[in-house]
Structure 1
Amino acid sequence: MSTFAATGVATAAPLTLRCPASSSYDLTVQPDRLVFDRTGPAPTRVVMGRSSLVTDGTPVALNAEDQDRVALFDRDLRALLPRVRRVAGHGVDVAVQAIRDEASGLSLAPATRQLLDQHLATDADALHQRIDTSQSTRDWQGDAVRQLGDQFAADLGPIVAGDLGQQALQAAMNGDLDTASRLRDQAADLATTLQPRIASRLKVLQPQIDALCPSIERLAGLQQGLRDAQGRPLQLLDAAGR
């Protein structure tokens, strides 16, 4: 989750935000403040309270208008996060269904299907919990949805490939070389295409991601006019060139 978690949902190809948005800061949400950190350039640490602002340890003098901007930014960002979590949670559900659909077209043994369902449920529950409890974008470094697809593929791919490989070996030993070849091809295809297929199915999230844009653009507008303790314009969020 980058750009305060929103673009983390969107950045998994082929998804894009309709309103281009980015942030060089990591965000940590605390009960009484928002903390933005980055390695550089300055300010490298911005702490925003409900109506206060501190940059690199120095309080910023805010007039009444700027206090209102800070308070609204804090309020609107906190209101955006549950919506982002819902989109990410929907992404988990879509990925799980995509894997189930892929598995339904394979000749898997009943025991393998049961094991697959168990692992899917465990992984999905863990990801839902991670999404629901995350308070920092550090939990979602890089491409959040690609991480989701990679986790499913890494955990579940070997289960399916192992079953197909065993069936292929048995078919070859029985002299059914055509079936053995088909099963080996299925296993190889799954290993290379499962994650891209999951990503393709996640396109269904695009309208939900686009619906975040007005809130992101409003946040970008609220930061306009805010400056750090050295008088430099504060750029926590870059949205559509703002």
Structure 2
Amino acid sequence: MSRLLASAVLAAACAGVHAQDLATVCHATSSYDLTVEPNRLVFDRPTPAPTRVVLSDGALVTDGRSVALNEEDQDRLAVFQRDLRALMPRVKAVAQHGVDVAMQAVRQDAGSLNLDADTQAELDQRLATHAAELHQRIAASQSTHDWHGDAANQYANQIISDIGPLLASALGQQAVSAAMSGDLQQAAALRDRAGNLMSGFQPRLQRRLQVLRPEIQALCPDMQRLAELQEGIRAANGRPLNLLQIGQ
């Protein structure tokens, strides 16, 4: 879940910046990926065993072996499944807000470039298209596998490759016009502005994304509750499940 949140904002931000995510704010981590299916939850990881944990209506299967549970543990796992399903839309809502914050940050930074009307309109249209696509991807996603690093970076690179040349061309034209008119100082200033815009975007975005922190903090008690519900339950190999861990 924290991967979903962080990576979604990363992709939206076009800058390889992770928002304050569940791991940072709530100290909630997991070595598993999560896939939400209609009748079960599937947790998987490369190592160590168990590498595949399936929860379904209070039943527990680890690495293909059913785990005998007493009534109390069945009830706890049933509540775990219910509460985790209920939490996912809230995590997605934070990610959706992160997309909007990041796109608005791009618009605000671009506003300092004195773009001509046509370029500004084209930029707005492209950002709106990317935002709509990311919103749709987040809404449709049912697995943290969708947001692994390579996938998130791919989304970010698509956005960069789309809007980067547009802004560079607009600034280049302004610099050429200034140079041709004999204003070499203005031409140099435009080049510096472009460089400062890119180098300073990441820290500015991080500050703007702090608006998400209260929304993420609101998830922390639910994460703590999930961690408590799984305590003491073991896989078929005798190891604790540890589907979710809360650090200090």
Scaled by the length of structure 1, the TM-score of the pair is 0.90
The residue that corresponds to 1:98 in the other structure is 105
**Is 2:234 aligned against 1:227?**
yes
Relative distance call for 1:55 and 1:32 in structure 2 (3 A) is same
1:27 pairs with 27, 34, 37, which one? 34
1:238 aligns with 2:245: yes
Amino acid at match of 2:58: S
The Cα of 1:149 is off from its aligned counterpart by: 6.4
Q: How far does residue 166 in structure 1 lie from its aligned partner after superposition? A: 1.6
Q: CA contact under 8 A between 1:8 and 1:143: conserved in structure 2? A: no
Partner Cα distance (1:168, 1:129) in 2: 38
Alignment of 1:64-83 (within 5 A): 64-83=71-90
Aligned-partner Cα distance in 1 for 2:79–2:158: 37
Contact conserved, 2:234 with 2:240, CA < 8 A, in 1? Answer: yes
Matched residue, 1:50: 57
1:139 aligns with 2:136: no
Indicate if the aligned counterparts of 2:8 and 2:138 stay in contact, CA closer than 8 A: no
CA drift of 1:199 comes to 2.6
CA-CA distance at 1:169 after TM superposition: 1.4
For residue 146 of structure 1, report the CA deviation from its aligned partner: 8.1
Is the CA contact 1:94–1:201 (under 8 Å) kept in the aligned structure 2? yes
Q: Which residue of 2 aligns with 1:217?
A: 224
> Does structure 1 conserve the Cα–Cα contact (< 8 Å) formed by 2:54 and 2:62?
yes
| 8 A Cα contact 1:25 1:36, kept in partner | yes
State the SS of the aligned residue for 1:231.
Answer: coil
Which one of 40, 45, 52 corresponds to residue 38 of structure 1? Answer: 45
The alpha-carbon deviation at position 196 of structure 1 amounts to 3.4
SS at 1:216's partner residue?
Answer: helix
Partner of 1:113: 120
Q: Determine the C-alpha separation between the residues in 2 that align with 1:147 and 1:106.
A: 27
CA shift in 2, pair 1:221/1:73, >3 Å: same
The answer to whether 1:158 aligns with 2:148 is no
Structure 1 stretch displaced more, 13-22 or 171-180: 13-22
Taking a change above 3 Å as real, the CA distance of residues 148 and 86 of structure 1, as seen in their structure-2 partners, is farther
Gaps of 5+ in 1: none
**In 2, are the aligned partners of 1:27 and 1:34 still within 8 Å (CA)?**
yes
Please tell me the residue identity of whatever aligns with 2:240: P
Q: 1:73 to 1:143 in 2, by over 3 A?
A: farther
Which residue identity lines up with residue 48 of structure 2 in the other structure?
A: P
CA distance in 2 between partners of 1:165 and 1:149 (Å): 23
- Following the alignment from structure 1 to structure 2, what is the Cα–Cα distance between the partners of residues 21 and 203? 18
Q: Given the alignment of the two structures, is residue 15 of structure 1 paired with residue 20 of structure 2, yes or no?
A: yes
Distance 2:64 2:188 in 1: 65
Q: Percent of pairs identical after alignment?
A: 57
Is residue 53–residue 60 contact of structure 2 (8 Å, CA) maintained in 1?
yes
SS of match in other structure, 1:28: strand
SS at match of 1:66: helix
**1:7·1:21 contact (CA, 8 Å) conserved in 2?**
no
CA separation in 1, counterparts of 2:77 and 2:157? 38
Deviation at 1:97, TM superposition (A): 1.3
Which of 191, 197, 207 lines up with 2:204 in the alignment?
197
Give the partner amino acid of 1:134: S
Deviation at 1:14, TM superposition (A): 5.9
Per-residue CA shift, 1:84-141, capped at 9, x if unaligned?
A: 0100000011111111111222121111101100111000000100110100001112
Q: Deviations over 1:184-228 (max 9, x none)?
A: 111222232334322321111001011110000000000101111
Runs of 5+ in structure 2 lacking a partner?
11-16
Which AA in structure 2 matches 1:85?
A: K
Map of 2:70 onto structure 1: 63
